[in-house]
Amino acid sequence: MTDSYRIPLPKFSLGRIVMTESASQTLSPNDIATALLRHARGDWGDVCAEDRDANESALWDGGKLFSAYHDRKGVRFWIITEADRNTTTVLLPDDY
């Protein structure tokens, strides 16, 4: 018997991916890549219900998308995709 796996497709384009200097120096590339995949698939990470609902609405009306994650060391970071979907930024909360 063959196992089959369903991999969710991205819900939107990330556009150009950029990150702040501090995020680049603090976070591992693997943690960033995993979070970017989650973000693109609509897994908003550790956000409140209000932000989750705002993201779901933004998928339809073209608003900004915001996700929050923790890396393997427990460092909190954010991913923000602009409303025009041209740019996605990885940053630490202190960078905002």
Query: pLDDT by residue (tens digit) across 2-19?
Result: 666 677 789 999 999 999
C-beta of residue 55 within 8 angstroms of C-beta of residue 44: yes
Q: How far apart are CA 31 and CA 72, in angstroms?
A: 7
Neighbours of 31 (CB within 10 A): 18
Alpha helices in 1-96 (DSSP H): 21-26, 29-40, 49-61
Q: How far apart are CA 55 and CA 72, in angstroms?
A: 24
Least confident of 6-15, 17-26, 45-54, 72-81: 6-15
Nearest to 64 by CA among 37, 45, 89: 89
**What is the model's pTM?**
0.91
